[in-house]
A and B are shown apart, each in its own frame.
Chain A
Amino acid sequence: MTALVEIDSLQKHFPVGGGLFGRGKKQVRALDGVSLSIEKGEILSVVGESGSGKTTLGRTVLRLTDPTAGAIRFEGQDITSLSRRALRPFRQRMQLVFQDPFASLNPRQTVEQIVATPLAIHAGGSSATEKRERVADMLRLVGLQPHHADRYPHELSGGQRQRVGIARALILNPSFLVADEPVSALDVSIQAQVVNLLLELKEKLGLTILFIAHDLAVVGHISDRIAVMYLGRVVEVAETGTLFRSPRHPYTEALFSAAPIPDPTVRRSRVLLQGDIPSPIDPPSGCAFRTRCRHALPECATVVPPLRQVGPGHLSACIRDDIALQASIA
């Protein structure tokens, strides 16, 4: 396996509270040194609670926001500081599916215009009928009917809109897709359909997907590997089965414990986190999770724990190897 996308200690800081003259000194550390490598053909999920930097990671990898520091390599090429013009050829090969299918489609355009936009930008040479055929093929591929082409987004259901969003993202045959919580705005009954569609398209088109989510049931179903984020850092990465069976970071344990189990007879001991996620403006020293961790030691406050290999393909950023953590029941 070779890496399609390599992310190397990526940082993204947003200035906050800037005055009229000069920028404020305070910064939100949305990404605070994230290193990940996404292998060709895999689905890597990123999970974490709100404000952990998942969405920022997805958008920064696609260079929709400029990173503060670090590097992004796509198919071996460094795209960290390419200009917009230089990025254009890469845009065809990396695409994005959004969380909210109501906001991600232009309400003034028909489905056909929306799905044909990528062709208008990148395939200027092809004729109008050729484009229309490609749009019709794409709509069929995502499970829509040809007559949907003339509809406006507000005439479609949430699931149908999300399919339109997927069609727009895939019509240029990208190799890399960032799916930013693509199903969390949908009804549960529709979620499965869209998740299975993504899996099916991944097989058919040979996609590599960075899947951003917070629903562990969906994540367990779809991903090959999972990265857990907390306050702008990756705290644990492992293959899906390994992570669910033997989590090595206390935060992963707590996250699993918070997931609902669809069986009321099951009793389990919950790992409850105290308090809220700390402010990313002023994160705790050392391990960012130590303020809510029941296994925290004084040493945790001194040094930022690096991601260490704790098993084959299993990385964790916790200094405590001596603790036994609960596996996921789900």
Chain B
Amino acid sequence: MSSSIFDSSPGDSNPGGDFAAREAAIALPPRNTALRRFCRHRLAMAGAIIIAILVLGSYLGPYLIPYDDTFIDIMQRFAPPFSGAHILGTDELGRDMLARLMMGGRISLAVGFTAMVISMGIGILVGAIAGYYGGIVGAALMRFVDAVLCFPSIFLLLALAALIEPGVASITLLIAATAWMDVARIVEGQIRGLRERDFAVAAEALGASDLRIVFRELVPNAVAPIVVAATLNVAKAILLESYVSYLGYGIQPPTPSWGNMLNNAQIYLTSAPWLAILPGLFITLAVTSFNFLGDGLRDALDPRMENH
């Protein structure tokens, strides 16, 4: 190394180190290419940003505005938006619409998200058991899934809601109970295909337990469709919550949710249309954003696009 062209001045960057850094940059784990693809999907990015704004607005917003969602300002009933102290106007009791939309957003988003988590849990469990064990157990479970799927979910939900005292927790559970079947079918198909693969046989040859094979080897390989299903499930859950609350079986006033705000608004549709338009707008915004996010994730996580 005495006469090497590399040993010029001390403190000069080490060429070997440079090479190592370049090599590391090439060998990125697969998730980063997925992230890059996702960022290029404009609608999905827009969806993600809108969801972030809705979540932040719902949880931080109420601390930033001077009105409480239950504060009744009887002198300011039916104030239209952008006309006075209440930016988005007031409802029939003079309650601030913005405050109610924010609190309603908390409920609607929380119900949507929690229902998604629960339905994913049930769906993954049922799908994994059916797909992994197959045979009679699998067939019985999947025919049960098909049977539940035969009910239009809104009627199933209403039938169940009529029997159970409505509340945030019970509505969340009911929505989860009507939304897990699609996930179960997706997971069952994935696991059934993956369990025959050699790496699953390798784990079996090592004496791995069923639990380990399913959750360490198989489910991580089905993560892309599961994530997509999860996002779409949030949208579905928000919509279902709006349905039941609009029909009066869901979240009960005075607790606001976007759905029961719509329910309240129907008698004032001609005189105070903003009471219906505003919550409707937020439901649409949230649901489409989650759908776009799901589409973007589907494209980004598609294993066929991974460069092997």
* Closest CB in chain B relative to A23 CB, distance in Å: 12
Q: A106-B217, A152-B29, A154-B30 are in contact. Are A117 and B203 (CB under 8 A)?
A: yes
B54 to chain A, nearest CB (A): 32
Q: Does B220 count as interface, using CB distance less than 8 angstroms?
A: yes
Tell me, yes or no, whether A328 is within 8 Å of chain B by CB.
no
Query: Within A202-238, which residues are at the interface with B (CB < 8 Å)?
Result: none
List chain A positions with a Cβ less than 8 A from chain B: 59, 62, 64, 84, 87-88, 91-92, 95-96, 98-100, 103-109, 117-118, 121-122, 151-152, 154-155, 165, 168, 172
Distance of A62 Cα from B217 Cα, bound (Å): 20
Interface centre among B198, B204, B216, B221 (most CB of A within 10 A): B198
When distances are taken between beta carbons in the complex, the residues of chain B under 8 Å from A62 are 205
Which 8 pairs, one residue from A and one from B, show the smallest C-beta to C-beta distance?
A91-B207, A104-B198, A103-B198, A108-B220, A88-B207, A106-B199, A154-B308, A96-B205
Would you list 8 pairs from A and B whose C-beta atoms are within 8 A, ordered by A residue? A64-B201, A88-B207, A100-B198, A103-B197, A118-B206, A121-B206, A122-B207, A155-B27
Question: What B residues does A117 contact at CB under 8 A?
Answer: 203, 206, 208, 216
Q: How far is the CB of A95 from chain B (nearest CB, A)?
A: 6
The smallest C-beta distance from A88 to any residue of chain B, in angstroms, reads 4
Question: What is the interface residue range for chain B against chain A?
Answer: 20 to 34
Report chain B residues within 8 Å CB of A122.
Answer: 206-207
Kindly identify which residue among A91, A100, A103, A155 contacts B206, using a CB–CB cutoff of 8 Å: A91
Residues of B near A59 (CB, < 8 A) are 201
Name the residue of chain B whose CB is nearest to the CB of A94: B205
Q: Complex: how many Å from CA A236 to CA B201? A: 30
Is there an interface contact between A151 and B27, defined as CB atoms closer than 8 Å?
A: yes
Other than A87-B207, A165-B202, give 15 A-B pairs with Cβ distance below 8 A: A62-B205, A91-B205, A95-B206, A98-B198, A104-B198, A106-B199, A106-B221, A108-B220, A118-B206, A151-B27, A152-B29, A152-B30, A154-B30, A154-B308, A172-B206
Task: Name the residue of chain A whose CB is nearest to the CB of B307.
Answer: A154
Point out which of B29, B201, B306 has the most chain A C-beta atoms below 10 A from its C-beta: B201
Return the contact of A92 from the options B199, B207, B306 (Cβ within 8 A). B207
Residues of B173-210 whose CB lies within 8 A of A = 197-199, 201-208
Closest residue of A by beta carbon distance from B207 = A91
Chain B residues positioned under 8 Å from A109 (CB to CB): 220
Most A CB within 10 A of own CB, among B201, B202, B216, B223: B202
Residues of A within 8 A of B206 (CB): 91, 95, 117-118, 121-122, 168, 172
In the complex, A154 Cα to B304 Cα: how many Å?
Answer: 13
Asked if B42 is an interface residue, CB under 8 A from chain A, the answer is no
Across the interface, name the chain B residue whose C-beta is closest to A113. B216
Nearest chain A CB to B67's CB is how many angstroms away? 49
Kindly name the residue among A88, A92, A98, A106 whose own CB sees the greatest number of chain B CB atoms within 10 A: A106
CA of A263 to CA of B106, assembled, Å: 79
- B30 CB contacts on chain A under 8 angstroms: 152, 154
B40 within 8 A of partner (CB): no
Question: What A residues does B208 contact at CB under 8 A?
Answer: 117, 121
Complex Cα spacing A108 to B215, Å: 12
A211 to chain B minimum Cβ distance, whole angstroms, is 16
Residues in A whose Cβ lies below 8 Å from that of B198? 98-100, 103-104
Partner of A64 from B29, B204, B212 at Cβ < 8 Å: B204
Q: In B266-303, which residues have CB < 8 Å from any A CB?
A: none
Q: Mark B5-40, 1 if CB is under 8 A from A, else 0.
A: 000000000000000000000010110000000000
Min CB–CB distance B28 → chain A (angstroms): 9
Bound Cα distance A117, B199 (Å): 11
Cα–Cα, bound, A118→B29 (Å): 23
Beta-carbon nearest neighbor of B201 in chain A: A64
Q: Given the complex, which residues of A lie within 8 Å of B212, measured CB to CB?
A: 121
A104–B202 CB distance below 8 A: yes
Q: Which residues of A contact B199 (CB under 8 A)?
A: 103-106
Q: How far is the CB of A87 from chain B (nearest CB, A)?
A: 7
- Please indicate the chain B residues that have their CB under 8 angstroms from the CB of A64 in the complex: 201, 204-205
Minimal beta-carbon separation of B308 from chain A (angstroms): 5
Contacts of B207 in A (CB 8 A): 84, 87-88, 91-92, 121-122
In the complex, A106 Cα to B29 Cα: how many Å? 14
The one of A98, A107, A152 that contacts B202, using a Cβ cutoff of 8 Å: A98
| B209 (CB) vs chain A CBs: closest residue | A121
